[in-house]
């Protein structure tokens, strides 16, 4: 069984690992390009992991570390391979097609515009109600200096909203959230992602 990879350059990767382990999954911290693939042969590569988490943290710092560790290109190849991905907070910023305040580089895999710290700074952080057709009633999300989704394209499905604004989206195998499900025990989103990772392992 392949483990779930958690990008572990910066941010709350340890909390994601703990949440996934509570869900019964094996995890591995990803820090180097050679951890991503079972084979170095680019003609017939198989991912070494069943799914990938891009955790919350500081997105500009993550960008610098991805470049420094030689991960930017190899990680982009893996992200485009169809592997299940969970991106939270800074991870969501890394996947957006447009980032504002300030503009910064991103992988552009999700057709949406994201405003960094769009919900305010630390003083505005907290736990807020979120709603969506697949989410159980009473679901909440922890927002910490959270990005704000300003626009979504037609290929991006909005799965949950906070006061009418999108905060959880899906595009193909990618789930991306403005909030931190790993900071809440047995969050619906963690369980949903664990299911996707398990299905990938069994296929």
Looking at 16, 17, 178, 182, which residue is catalytic?
A: 182
User: CA angle, corner 3, sides to 54 and 106, nearest 5?
Assistant: 20
Question: Do 178 and 167 meet the contact criterion of CB atoms below 8 Å apart?
Answer: yes
Q: Give the helix/strand (H/E) hosting 101.
A: none
Neighbour count for residue 25 (Cβ, 10 Å): 20
Looking at 16, 17, 178, 180, which residue is catalytic?
A: 180
Active site residue 182: yes
| Long-range contact pairs involving 195-203 (C-beta distance under 8 Å, separation at least 24) | 196/51, 196/84, 197/4, 197/20, 197/25, 197/50, 197/51, 197/84, 198/25, 198/50, 200/2, 200/50, 200/51, 200/83, 200/84, 201/1, 201/2, 201/50
Looking at 89, 124, 134, 178, which residue is catalytic?
A: 89
Active site residue 89: yes
Q: Which of 203, 196, 139 lies closest to 20, judged by CA? A: 196
Question: Do 150 and 183 meet the contact criterion of CB atoms below 8 Å apart?
Answer: no
Residues acting as catalytic residues: 89, 180, 182
């Amino acid at each position: 069984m392949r483990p779930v990879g958690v990008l572990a350059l910066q941010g709350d990767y340890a909390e994601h690992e703990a949440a996934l382990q509570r869900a019964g999954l094996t995890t591995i911290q990803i820090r180097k390009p050679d951890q991503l693939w079972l084979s170095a042969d680019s003609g017939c590569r198989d991912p070494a992991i069943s799914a990938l988490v891009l955790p919350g943290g500081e997105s500009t710092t993550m960008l610098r570390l991805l470049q420094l560790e030689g991960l930017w290109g190899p990680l982009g190849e893996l992200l485009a391979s169809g592997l299940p991905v969970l991106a939270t907070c800074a991870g969501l910023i890394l996947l957006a097609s447009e980032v504002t305040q300030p503009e910064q580089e991103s992988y552009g895999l999700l057709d949406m515009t994201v405003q960094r710290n769009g919900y305010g700074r630390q003083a505005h952080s907290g736990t807020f109600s979120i709603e969506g057709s697949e989410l159980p009633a009473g679901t909440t999300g922890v927002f910490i200096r959270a990005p704000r989704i300003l626009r979504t394209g037609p290929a991006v499905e909005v799965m949950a909203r906070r006061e009418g604004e999108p905060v959880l989206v899906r595009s193909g195998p990618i789930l991306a959230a403005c909030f931190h499900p790993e900071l809440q025990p047995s969050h619906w989103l963690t369980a949903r992602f664990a299911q996707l990772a398990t299905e990938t392992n069994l296929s």
